[in-house]
Structure 1
Amino acid sequence: MTGIEAFVRGLPKTDLHMHIEGSIEPQLMLDLAARNGLKLRWDTAEALRGAYRFQNLQSFLDLYFEGCKVLVTERDFHDVTRAYLRRAHEDGVIRAELFIGPQSFTERGTPIEALMSGVLGAMEEARREHGMSLGLMISVHRHRTEPDAMAVLDQVMPWKDHIIGIGMGGAEVGNPPSKFARFFQAARDRGFRTTVHAGEEGPAAYVREALDLLQVDRIDHGNACLADHDLVRELAAQRVPLTVCPLSNLRLKVVSSMREHPLKALMAHGLHVTVNSDDPPYFDGYVTENLLACRDALGLSTEEIVGLVRNGVEAAFVTEEERQALLLRLDAYLAAHADVLDPASAS
């Protein structure tokens, strides 16, 4: 491992866009299937990983939802959440905000209580054992109806004090944010922060709807905003965070190569860009790998990487007191590694 790789891995960083269902490593997926008496199409972790060759978002979602079937019991949800948080801690993540989409599980008969207890229990363990700052976000599916989403909102209200935000993901094309305007209004009325996947495969108009109609606090992905110069100016002026996921965009062929990724252009326009993992095993990279891939392909400086990490802390759904505590951890790390930021100071 080179000096810069070690520096980036050790950076106290955030992961604000990560789906628990998308964090199941291949061997764990096979183990959970066996535990629940399920037969998958793959017999080995190598064969399963070999299936991670996606043509677009939908081809990924097909496999993603198949993988969801192995999460059945409270113990399953605990184990997959705990596995991600253990790996994220090793990756230097000090603040993680995790999505879970209950609809994939409750429709098959899994009690919402089992899902929430498993996930929240694992999060509490990680807080205690690793000192991590953590938040849970509930995600609804945009290919379903707004009444379906409203039902999820009602379903999770007993855990309101343990949920930091409400989001929406799934197949974007043909499912504009405007379909869910009343749902997001209801989420805001109940005191939740909000975010939505927009502008990944969908057009800039979807990002515009997310901003104007849904009035979200953050936008997940948001790449397509660059096609609308007025929208870019508004996003920059309002400091609306974009939770960009570069390796996800590469693996889903949103971009044909990392050199073509719009991250650097988003940064150049003054947008509040953060870098995140999305579904790390499927896309072959946790946050560190995303940052290093951008560094290699786009020529990011160490200072630009630090800026992206700082953006993540500033975009987190936390109290200002907790934000300052997280920034102090980042600043302490930077002070201890001043030679990496300014090699001349080491001479």
Structure 2
Amino acid sequence: MIELIKALPKAELHLHIEGSLEPELMLRLAKKNNVDIPYKDIEAIRDAYNFTNLQSFLDIYYAGAKVLVTKEDFYDLTWEYILKCVEDNVVHTEIFFDPQTHTQRGVPFEVVITGITQALSAAKARYGITSAVIVCFLRHLSEQEAFETLEQALKFKQHIIGVGLDSAELGNPPSKFKAVFKKAREEGFKLVAHAGEEADYSYIYEALDLLDIDRIDHGVQSINSDALMQRLKEEQMPLTVCPNSNIELKVFDSYEQHNIKQLLDFGLNVSVNSDDPAYFKGYINQNFINIYEHLTLSEADIVTLIKNSFRSAFIDNDLKQQYLRQVDQVLL
């Protein structure tokens, strides 16, 4: 089964590009850009990757992002992730980035988006990997600051397919961003939001009813509401689940306790993604392998999870069908 997991083409819909910053690149860029980070070597960085909750991760995540300064840095960051896509047979990826993490440090929006998109263009040319970019608002900041970020994003609309909502969930409900998501929808962006990761399932309802989102990122707390589970099933609302992340951030104590199999068996549209793979011990294949080894997932379950990712991607139907046929060809 593990060899089949590796062989199957995949789409990744929940990937923070800043979260793919490996320790080696972090140290190299820190030295190049003369940025002081509190780690003397790779082992010190990896030792810091022991999290107690979402906030403990975010503290390190934002500290690491400080090494990203130039267009070339964002290109290199994205390109290293693309090489992981090649290794894991990811043929389509939809990448999140957090512009506010960088603009607050004086790094212009244009620098970030240009570096990322140039690497994605090179990935399409060299490897045939298709991609999209989603701008995420930091939910611990104000809605006004999100509006300012949206205005910046509009200047690069040709490169951006959607907007999202991430960062510290507790105390920052989706309702805080109702107006800016309405504006983003009017501008033609697809809408996604992190909801129901650490916070309770009421955040999922808010994302659905107040933000009118197209996909829920995480959403694992939905299992605590029978009515919500039924609604998600009927609407086939995509949930981009990130198993390694959920374990590392203590949403679940072990893989055996993870509820992705229950969500799948109920008929929800769930997919597997790596979230912040440099920090959470593995890219997409490792996420699949971990849940396969610890849950009673069949070959049919694995295939459904993979096909769900293509069905839920922000691509046209012809391309979806092309990728779904590629999955079926491996199974012959």
Residue identity opposite 2:2 in structure 1: E
- The one of 109, 130, 133 equivalent to 2:130 is 133
Give the whole-Å Cα distance in 2 for the aligned partners of 1:43 and 1:9: 35
Secondary structure in 2 aligned to 1:255? coil
Residue identity opposite 1:26 in structure 2: P
The number of residues matched between the two structures is 332
- The one of 123, 135, 141 equivalent to 1:144 is 141
Give the whole-Å Cα distance in 2 for the aligned partners of 1:231 and 1:182: 24
Residue identity opposite 1:152 in structure 2: T
Residue identity opposite 1:119 in structure 2: I
Which residues in structure 2 correspond to 1:21-32 (within 5 Å)?
21-32=18-29
Residue identity opposite 1:199 in structure 2: G
Give the root-mean-square deviation of aligned CA atoms: 0.8
Give the whole-Å Cα distance in 1 for the aligned partners of 2:138 and 2:110: 20
Report the more deviating stretch, 239-248 or 159-168. Answer: 159-168
Give the whole-Å Cα distance in 1 for the aligned partners of 2:331 and 2:92: 17
Determine the structure 2 residue equivalent to 1:79: 76
Determine the structure 2 residue equivalent to 1:314: 311
Give the whole-Å Cα distance in 2 for the aligned partners of 1:180 and 1:86: 35
Which residues in structure 2 correspond to 1:172-211 (within 5 Å)?
172-211=169-208
Determine the structure 2 residue equivalent to 1:324: 321
- The one of 273, 278, 282 equivalent to 1:281 is 278
Q: Which deviations, in whole Å up to 9, do the C-alpha atoms of 1:14-61 show, x marking residues without a partner? A: 110000111001101100111101122112112211110000000000
Give the whole-Å Cα distance in 2 for the aligned partners of 1:57 and 1:89: 29
Once the two structures are TM-superposed, the CA of residue 6 in structure 1 deviates from its matched residue by 2.1
- The one of 48, 53, 56 equivalent to 1:56 is 53
Secondary structure in 1 aligned to 2:330? helix
Give the whole-Å Cα distance in 2 for the aligned partners of 1:41 and 1:145: 28
Once the two structures are TM-superposed, the CA of residue 116 in structure 1 deviates from its matched residue by 1.0
Residue identity opposite 2:39 in structure 1: W
Give the whole-Å Cα distance in 2 for the aligned partners of 1:302 and 1:49: 33
Give the whole-Å Cα distance in 2 for the aligned partners of 1:291 and 1:58: 25
Report the more deviating stretch, 39-48 or 250-259. Answer: 39-48
Give the whole-Å Cα distance in 1 for the aligned partners of 2:190 and 2:135: 11
Which residues in structure 2 correspond to 1:262-277 (within 5 Å)?
262-277=259-274
Identity %: 44
Unaligned ranges ≥5, structure 1: 336-347
Give the whole-Å Cα distance in 1 for the aligned partners of 2:264 and 2:3: 24
Once the two structures are TM-superposed, the CA of residue 211 in structure 1 deviates from its matched residue by 0.8
Give the whole-Å Cα distance in 2 for the aligned partners of 1:71 and 1:327: 36
Once the two structures are TM-superposed, the CA of residue 9 in structure 1 deviates from its matched residue by 1.2
Determine the structure 2 residue equivalent to 1:256: 253
Task: Tell me whether 1:66 sits opposite 2:67 in the alignment.
Answer: no
Q: Which deviations, in whole Å up to 9, do the C-alpha atoms of 1:289-317 show, x marking residues without a partner? A: 11111111111111110110000000001
Task: Tell me whether 1:20 sits opposite 2:44 in the alignment.
Answer: no
Give the whole-Å Cα distance in 1 for the aligned partners of 2:5 and 2:265: 21
Once the two structures are TM-superposed, the CA of residue 156 in structure 1 deviates from its matched residue by 1.1
Determine the structure 1 residue equivalent to 2:235: 238
Once the two structures are TM-superposed, the CA of residue 133 in structure 1 deviates from its matched residue by 1.1
With normalisation by structure 2, the TM-score equals 0.99
- The one of 165, 184, 189 equivalent to 1:168 is 165
Determine the structure 2 residue equivalent to 1:115: 112
Once the two structures are TM-superposed, the CA of residue 324 in structure 1 deviates from its matched residue by 1.4
Once the two structures are TM-superposed, the CA of residue 152 in structure 1 deviates from its matched residue by 0.6
Give the whole-Å Cα distance in 1 for the aligned partners of 2:320 and 2:242: 22
Give the whole-Å Cα distance in 2 for the aligned partners of 1:165 and 1:11: 27
Residue identity opposite 1:63 in structure 2: I
Determine the structure 2 residue equivalent to 1:342: none
Secondary structure in 1 aligned to 2:278? helix
Give the whole-Å Cα distance in 2 for the aligned partners of 1:299 and 1:51: 32
Give the whole-Å Cα distance in 1 for the aligned partners of 2:75 and 2:26: 13
Secondary structure in 2 aligned to 1:281? coil
Secondary structure in 1 aligned to 2:161? strand
